[in-house]
Structure 1
Amino acid sequence: MAIYHFKAKMIKRSEGKSIIAAAAYRRADKLFSAREERSYDYSDKPDVIWSELTIPHDSPEWVKAVKEKHELAPTQTISDFWNLVDANEKRKDSQPAREYLFALPIELTQEQN
């Protein structure tokens, strides 16, 4: 039986969270944080089925350019993008990213989900 679950939350610097670490973990990737001068390596994390950079249709041209670059060099683009966001967030209580979690029915295969 499928169980519904949805949760939306902020990635908050005031809670000691790093958007670079969050992106690396969710992508199972290795990303470098320029602000913290350290790498986050979650490339050994199993079971990442899908990861995508999604943007609104009415995004500025520079954001659309990032999306196009992402299709050619995903890891470098994600690292550059999140470092740019992190560099522009000056407040210690900034909320530079949001995360949306939802459950998929276990009765369905990965392809069906």
Structure 2
Amino acid sequence: MAIMFVRAQVISRGAGRSIVSAAAYRHRARMMDEQAGTAFSYRGGASELVHEELVLPDRIPDWLKIAIDGKSVAGASEILWNAVDSFESRADGQLARELIIALPEELTRAENVALVRDFVRDNLTSKG
């Protein structure tokens, strides 16, 4: 069975969005946007989060491996997105692409997680 629907949207500074705020919302966590000096907290919706993981390509810079080693998924995500935010300096910089994926409700949660992992591996991380 395949994923039924995927929609991609860009998270960009030009639209006035913070990538760290977006990550905090997705992880239902508190994160600090180092560039803006602003904390974002979305812990109130933690019961809505049924699964989280951070998947990176096999070849990532050593500094990132060291920085995220031993961190929670949300903690590693906060480090990653702050690094992206500081690297991309353009006022209209495109910081990330977010994928909205509709999953088959006939599958179990574990089967849907495996389906998304396969999709991410085949279409994203395997390409670096």
TM-score by length of 1: 0.82
**How do 1:75-90 residues align onto structure 2 when only pairs under 5 Å count?**
75-90=74-89
Following the alignment from structure 2 to structure 1, what is the Cα–Cα distance between the partners of residues 41 and 94?
Answer: 22
Q: One-letter code of the match for 1:53?
A: L
Following the alignment from structure 1 to structure 2, what is the Cα–Cα distance between the partners of residues 98 and 66?
Answer: 23
1:69-112 per-position Cα deviation (integer Å, ceiling 9, x unaligned): 1xx22233322222121112110010111111111112333233
Provide the residue aligned with 1:7 in structure 2. Answer: 7
Between the two proteins, the alignment pairs up a number of residues equal to: 109
Following the alignment from structure 1 to structure 2, what is the Cα–Cα distance between the partners of residues 3 and 52?
Answer: 18
Describe the SS at the equivalent of 1:52.
Answer: coil
1:29 correspondence with 2:29: yes
1:66 shift after superposition: 4.2
1:39 correspondence with 2:52: no
RMSD between aligned residues: 2.0
Following the alignment from structure 1 to structure 2, what is the Cα–Cα distance between the partners of residues 81 and 110?
Answer: 26
- Is the contact between residue 28 and residue 42 of structure 2 (CA under 8 Å) also seen in structure 1? yes
Provide the residue aligned with 1:108 in structure 2. Answer: 107
Following the alignment from structure 2 to structure 1, what is the Cα–Cα distance between the partners of residues 62 and 71?
Answer: 18
Higher share of residues assigned helix = 2
Following the alignment from structure 1 to structure 2, what is the Cα–Cα distance between the partners of residues 32 and 63?
Answer: 17
Provide the residue aligned with 1:73 in structure 2. Answer: 71
- Is the contact between residue 3 and residue 101 of structure 2 (CA under 8 Å) also seen in structure 1? no
Provide the residue aligned with 1:56 in structure 2. Answer: 57
Following the alignment from structure 2 to structure 1, what is the Cα–Cα distance between the partners of residues 67 and 56?
Answer: 10
Identity of aligned residues (%): 35
Q: One-letter code of the match for 1:47?
A: E
1:7/1:16 Cα in 2 relative to 1: closer, same or farther (>3 Å)?
same
1:39-58 per-position Cα deviation (integer Å, ceiling 9, x unaligned): 11111113212222211123
TM-score by length of 2: 0.73
